[in-house]
Amino acid sequence: MSGERRSSDRILIVGAGVVGASIAYHLTRLGHDNVVVLDARDRTQFPGSTGLAPGFIGRLSASPELTALARDSVATYRALSRDGTDEVFWQVGCLEVATTEARLEQAHRDVEHGRRLGVEARVLGPAEAVALAPALVDADRVRGALFVPGDGAADPVLLTQRLGAAAERAGARFLFGTPVTALEREGDRVTGVRAGGEAELLRADRVVLATGIWGPVLAGRAGIRLPMVAVQHPYLYTGELPGLDDTFIDAPIVRYPDHCVYTRRHGRRFGLGSYAHSPLPLRPSVDLVSAERPFREADFGAALSDAASLVPVFRTAPRGRRLNGVFALTPDELPLVGPAPGVDGLWFAEASWVTHAGGVGRQLANMLLETGELLVDPAWLAPGRFASRSDRWIHETALAHYQGIYETH
């Protein structure tokens, strides 16, 4: 595709969260400045999954495709991050804590797996692991740990703002307070969207949905199935603690794979999440305005209590905010990136986490502009890969993998 055509074709992105901002960023870096990003929210608000994301960036995955996307995300986030108070990514590493001999043996296998995927990792002894993150590693239970030094923690909101600002400087337009109410479809082609209070028609050569849990709602209105499931997930913060810098992170992110628990420092606070509970799906609707739902003690209380008892700082620190956030999940735990099956002009960038958003943005931008420089074989991420499966199969299979996300990601 020629540079002239790239400049003239209008690409409209629905959703200005971290994925939408990443797509705009990568499109403009490739020289395409006719990019419009629409979002229902105010510029300073983040009611979607981006605003709730804990910001863990782990590259080593059982899936080579996710590893490729995460590796590229780290490269993008490092390029955006600057020294000082506006840093968006801290490359502090990741500790996978082994509390059993079986997990320690797995850690040694993961070192070899990482070597094959180009991700450096090594196994640490108990004392080394505790020394790196004494507030987060249980000295009485650790038997060793897998350490991945190139991983780290991000500030998802600041990261998204930085991606968007860079895209705007390169010519992209962001229209906030502009809810998209429908896709405009003419036969087998999507030609634009209806947006704003007056349902104004905004035409585009290509429309990209990057709306997170709301994707199936908007696609469904145009008779298009988006095969993913929204699921609820708990996260707990401590209160602010004395002696900690609000803008500094000096300890690795920490995971306890055998317990489905992950934890990290957030400036003056610490946070943890748990997958050790029954999966709780949610069916988004047009009336749902936030990806945060009420926290129900009966659903998540025991899981977070068990997780808190595992992490040293949570045994003594005062409790802070508890949240129930919703994110999107697919049956194979890979995102949906590429053209909609059977419909021209419509593309998806859905079911992606902050961990992979940088790579997803680059992958889709290169696909849209036909550069040939792809991170992953498009077939692995194709939105139509579940076309032969029923809605029930998609729902049940995705939920069955909920705790497995922890290992895959």
Extract the tokens encoding 100.
């059993």
**Across residues 46-61, what is the average pLDDT?**
94
**Across residues 344-371, what is the average pLDDT?**
97
* Portion of the chain with pLDDT greater than 90, in percent: 88
Which pLDDT value is given to residue 47? Answer: 84
Region of 311 on the Ramachandran plot (φ > 0 left; ψ -120 to 50 alpha; else beta): beta
- Phi–psi pair at 285, nearest 5 degrees: -135, 170
Task: Give every CB contact of residue 219 below 8 A, 6+ residues apart in sequence.
Answer: 183, 209, 225, 226, 340, 346, 348
Query: pLDDT at residue 10 above 80?
Result: yes
- Phi–psi pair at 258, nearest 5 degrees: -70, -15
DSSP 298-333: HHHHHHHHHHHHHSHHHHHSPEEEEEEEEEEE-TTS
Q: How far is CA 25 from CA 18, 159, 172, 280, 340, in A?
A: 10, 12, 8, 34, 22
Query: Per residue in 307-341, pLDDT tens?
Result: 999 999 999 999 999 999 999 999 999 999 999 99
**Across residues 184-189, what is the average pLDDT?**
94
Radius of gyration of the chain (CA): 21
- Dist CA 261 CA 234 (whole Å): 11
Domains by residue range for the chain, with CATH: 3-51+157-227+333-389 (3.50.50.60), 90-152+229-329 (3.30.9.10)
**Local confidence band at 8 (pLDDT 50, 70, 90 cut-offs):** low
Which pLDDT value is given to residue 3? Answer: 37
Task: Give every CB contact of residue 93 below 8 A, 6+ residues apart in sequence.
Answer: 132, 147, 148, 149, 150, 151, 152, 252, 253
Query: pLDDT at residue 393 above 80?
Result: yes
* Portion of the chain with pLDDT greater than 70, in percent: 95
Query: Per residue in 268-314, pLDDT tens?
Result: 999 999 999 999 999 999 889 999 999 999 999 999 999 999 999 99
